[in-house]
Amino acid sequence: MEKEAKDLNRIKRVLVEKKKTNRWLAEQLGKDEATTSKWCTNNAQPNLETLIKIASILDVEVQELIRVPNSNV
């Protein structure tokens, strides 16, 4: 259950679905690969502005990149 609560974003899952890597995402964003790796492992979270950029780069809605635990929405 603790792991579930920690998994706030779905960036890694969407990257896999799009057949892209966190290295590719880092290049697209001009960020360090270690940063995108932390996002993909949910050890850190991108800010909202970056999350919007990621959604645009991956051609998905922002909502597809986030997981709202125990939400009825």
* DSSP calls for 47-72: -HHHHHHHHHHHTS-GGGGB--TT--
All residues at 6 or more sequence positions from 70 whose CB lies less than 8 Å from its CB, including other chains: none
At 7, the pLDDT band (50, 70, 90 cuts) reads confident
Give pLDDT, residue 67.
Answer: 80
Residue 70 lies in a domain: no
Task: Summarize the confidence of residues 30-36 as an average pLDDT.
Answer: 97
Give pLDDT, residue 2.
Answer: 46
Residue 72 lies in a domain: no
At 23, the pLDDT band (50, 70, 90 cuts) reads very high
Task: Summarize the confidence of residues 31-49 as an average pLDDT.
Answer: 96
Residue 73 lies in a domain: no
What is the domain-level CATH number for residue 55? 1.10.260.40
Domain containing 57 equals: 2-65
- The chain-wide mean pLDDT, for the chain, equals 88
Total domain count, the chain: 1
Residue 40 lies in a domain: yes
